[in-house]
Amino acid sequence: MSKPITLIGAPTDIGAGMRGASMGPEALRVADLKATLESHGLFVEDLGNLAGPSNPWSPPVDGYRHLDEVIAWNHHVHDAVLGALQQGSLPILLGGDHSLAIGSISAVARHCRAQGKHLRVLWLDAHADFNTSVITPSGNLHGMPLACLCGLGPTELTGLSDQRPAIDAAAIRQIGIRSVDLGEKQLVHRMGLDVFDMRYIDETGMRHTMEQALFGLDENTHLHVSFDVDFLDPEIAPGVGTTVPGGPTYREAQLCMEMIADTGRLGSLDVMELNPALDLRNKTADLAVDLLESLFGKSTLMRRA
């Protein structure tokens, strides 16, 4: 019997450089996320949307845009995700921009500490999301969540899990990376992050990449997947604010999700940065739901159990 799933909508683009990701949760619902998961025998509860401050669309202050609002949203996300985990369910955060992964993963980290579980974070993204207020070109906090989770950032965000850093850099595997700012690149190297960038995937294939990224999981591991939809090639997933060419194809993305499903260790998930204002007839949301089916165990090939 698999865990029940809790959908949590976070309709905001507070950390993004473009408006529209605030409509992401509804687009995923329109793409039939709940019924699709239920068709595989899963129990799914949709908690609806969290509420938080509106987007003032103001310029950066001391290297951050909308810091107060980002903090407020992340508190709400943290509390909702933690609540779902404590009830024994598997939370899916429907973003919303990627800055909200700070709250989500802080809750997961707190839960893992309380349960004595190992945490592994897969960060599926075109970007490293490892900026700080000093090196950021824009001040947009959706480019900073991993740095914050590793302890680099404003104390209100780095301390959300009650321990700083919230997670060990060694717990992170970045996959699909193909756009990294210069200062960010140096920081990622200094922190010793495990990065499987697009060149690595090109050279060794998605199968080998995922074998490496999932290596060492054990029965006591909680696997968190933070899926930024811009991970995917923009040819198949145009509905995101920060497209970068040269991402995983449809089949590569499916294999990635299927191999995660095969581990049986998935404990929580973020689906982030979907921007319906830039999408074509909701096709990116449809694709995201299609990939989530694979992530939750629908194998596209006939296989013996």
Write down the catalytic residue from 76, 111, 142, 224: 142
Tell how strand 194-197 and strand 172-177 pair up.
parallel
Q: Tell me the window of 55-63, 117-125, 131-139, 252-260 that interacts with Mn ion (CB under 5 A).
A: 117-125
Catalytic site includes residue 230: yes
Active site residue 197: no
DSSP-assigned letter for residue 280:
S
Active site residue 218: no
d(C-alpha 62, C-alpha 50), whole Å: 28
Backbone angles phi, psi at 224, to 5 degrees: -110, 130
Given candidates 98, 173, 222, 265, which one binds Mn ion under the rule CB under 5 A? 98
Please give the biggest Cα pair distance in the chain: 57
Size of the site for Mn ion (CB under 5 A): 4
Which residues, in sequence order, are CB contacts of 113 under 8 Å at separation 6+? 161, 163
258 catalytic, yes or no?
Answer: no
Query: Per the residue annotation, which of 129, 184, 252, 270 is the catalytic one?
Result: 129
Choose between 98 and 110: whose C-beta lies nearer to Mn ion: 98
Please indicate whether residue 279 is annotated as part of the active site: no
Q: Are strands 5-10 and 90-95 parallel, antiparallel or unpaired?
A: parallel
The catalytic position among 230, 252, 279, 293 is 230
Please give the structure tokens belonging to residue 70: 């980002």
118 is catalytic: no
Residue 19, class by beta-carbon neighbours within 10 Å (0-12 exposed, 13-18 middle, 19+ buried)?
middle
125 binds Mn ion (CB under 5 A): yes
Q: Is 127 a catalytic residue?
A: yes
SS3 113: helix
Please identify, among the stretches 113-121, 182-190, 226-234, 297-305, the one whose residues bind Mn ion according to the rule CB under 5 A.
226-234
Query: Which residue among 13, 69, 97, 125 is the active-site one?
Result: 125
**Residue 228 binds Mn ion (CB under 5 A):** yes
Question: Catalytic one among 228, 270, 279, 286?
Answer: 228
Least distance between Mn ion and beta carbon 215 (Å): 23
- Is 184 catalytic? The answer is no
Q: How far is CA 171 from CA 72, 166, 207, 220, 283, in A?
A: 26, 11, 20, 14, 33
- The minimum distance between CB 220 and Mn ion, in angstroms, equals 28
Q: Identify which range of 19-27, 69-77, 124-132, 203-211 contacts Mn ion by CB under 5 A.
A: 124-132
Distance separating alpha carbons of residues 143 and 120, to the nearest angstrom: 20
Residues with a catalytic annotation lie at 98, 125, 127, 129, 142, 228, 230, 273
Binding residues for Mn ion, per CB under 5 A?
98, 125, 129, 228
